[in-house]
Amino acid sequence: MDLDRLRNISIIAHIDHGKTTLSDRVLELSGTVDARDMRAQYLDSMDLERERGITIKLQSVRLDWRDHVINLIDTPGHVDFGYEVSRSLAACEGVVLLVDAAQGIEAQTLANCYLALENDLEIVACMNKLDLPAADPDRCAEEIESVLGIPAEEVLRISAKTGDGVPELLDAVVDRIPAPVGAADDTLRALIFDSHFDQYRGVVSSVRVMDGTLRSGQKLRFLQAGASHQAEEIGIRSPGPIAVDTLGPGETGYLIAGIKDVGEARSGETVTDAARPAEEALEGYRDPKPMVFCGMYPVDGDQFPDLREALERLRLNDSSFTYEPESSGALGFGFRCGFLGLLHMEIVRERLEREFDLNLIATAPSVAYRVHTKGGEVVEIDNPSEMPDGAEVEAIEEPFLNVTLLTPSDYTGTLMDLCQTRRGEMDKLEYLSPERVELRYKIPLAEVVTDFFDQLKSRTQGYASLDYEPAGDDVSDLVKVDVLLNSQPVDAFSMIVHRTKADDYGRRMCEKLKELIPRQLFDVPIQAAMGGRIIARQTVKAKRKDVLAKCYGGDISRKRKLLDRQKEGKKKMKSIGRVEVPQEAFVSALKLDE
State pLDDT tens for residues 26-41.
888 877 776 666 666 5
> Could you tell me if 90 and 138 lie in one domain?
yes
Comparing 286-290, 377-381, 539-543, which segment has the lowest mean pLDDT? 286-290
Range of the domain at 400: 369-476
Q: What is the CATH number of the domain that holds 158?
A: 3.40.50.300
pLDDT at 68 over 60: yes
**588 — pLDDT class (breaks 50, 70, 90):** low
Burial 379-404 (b: 16+ CB within 10 A, else e): eebbbbbebbeeeebeebbbbbbbbb
**pLDDT value at 591 more than 60:** no
Is 414 marked as binding a ligand? no
Residues 559 and 528 in one domain: yes
pLDDT at residue 357 greater than cutoff 70: yes
Of the three residues 154, 176, 198, the one that is the final residue of a domain is: 176
**Residue 566, SS3?**
helix
Is the same domain home to 141 and 233?
Answer: no
Query: Has residue 594 been placed in a domain?
Result: no
Q: Are residues 212 and 260 in the same domain?
A: yes
20 known member of a binding site: yes
Q: Is the pLDDT of residue 379 over 60?
A: yes
Looking at the structure, tell me whether residues 220 and 305 fall in a common domain.
no
> With contact defined as beta carbons under 8 Å apart, do 336 and 324 qualify?
yes
Across the chain, how many H-helices and E-strands are there?
14, 31
In a domain, 429, yes or no: yes
- Residue 16 assigned to a binding site: yes
Question: Residue 451's domain is classified under what CATH number?
Answer: 3.30.70.240
Question: What CATH number does residue 505 fall under?
Answer: 3.30.70.2570
- Is the pLDDT reported for residue 310 higher than 80? yes
Q: Environment class of residue 440 by beta-carbon count within 10 Å: exposed (0-12), middle (13-18) or buried (19+)? A: middle
Residues 33 and 100 in one domain: yes
Ligand-binding site membership of 21 (annotated): yes
Residue 46 has pLDDT above 80, yes or no: no
pLDDT(11) > 90: no
Mean pLDDT across the chain: 82
Give the up-direction half-sphere exposure of residue 318: CA atoms within 13 A in the CB hemisphere: 24
Q: Which of 580, 588, 423 is nearest to 509 (CA)?
A: 588
Residue 501 clears pLDDT 90, i.e. is over it: no
Q: Is residue 183 part of a domain?
A: no
Q: Is residue 27 one of the residues assigned to a domain? A: yes
Query: Is residue 193 within 8 Å of 266, Cβ to Cβ?
Result: no
In a shared domain, residues 49 and 65: yes
Tell me which of 362, 394, 421 is where a domain ends.
Answer: 362
pLDDT at 35: 65
As a whole number of Å, the end-to-end CA separation of the chain is 55
Q: What is the pLDDT of residue 50?
A: 54
Among residues 472, 298, 302, 343, which one has the least CA distance to residue 82?
A: 343
Domain closes at, from 418, 447, 476: 476
Is residue 493 in a domain?
Answer: yes
Q: What is the pLDDT of residue 78?
A: 67
Q: Which of 540, 528, 533 is nearest to 484 (CA)?
A: 528
pLDDT at 589: 63
How does 160-176 read in b/e, with b if 16+ C-beta sit within 10 Å?
bbeeebbbebbebbeee
Number of domains in the chain: 5
Query: Using CA atoms, how far apart are residues 333 and 360, in angstroms rounded to an integer?
Result: 12
17 belongs to an annotated ligand binding site: yes
Q: Are residues 466 and 484 in the same domain?
A: no
My answer on whether 389 and 465 are in the same domain is yes
Q: How confident is the model at residue 527 (pLDDT cuts 50, 70, 90)?
A: very high
pLDDT, position 594 = 41
State the CATH number of the domain containing residue 302. 3.30.70.870
- 281 in any annotated domain: no
Single pTM value for the model: 0.69
Q: What would the pLDDT profile of 142-177 be if each residue is shown by its tens digit?
A: 888 888 888 888 889 988 888 888 899 889 999 999
**Higher-scoring residue by pLDDT: 574, 403:** 403
- pLDDT beyond 60 at 523: yes
- Is 129 part of any known ligand binding site? yes
In angstroms, the Cα distances linking 482 to 361, 487, 559, 560, 580 are 20, 11, 41, 39, 18
Question: Does residue 536 sit within a domain?
Answer: yes
Alpha-helical segments (H) within 396-501: 412-421, 445-448, 452-459
170 and 194 in a single domain? The answer is: no
Using only the alpha carbons of the chain, give its radius of gyration. Answer: 29
Q: Which pLDDT tens digit goes with each residue over 203-249?
A: 888 888 888 888 888 888 888 778 888 888 898 888 778 888 988 88
Residues 468, 485 within the same domain: no
pLDDT higher than threshold 60 for residue 77: yes
**Residue 131 labeled ligand binder:** yes
Q: Are residues 13 and 137 in the same domain?
A: yes
> Does 184 fall in a domain?
no
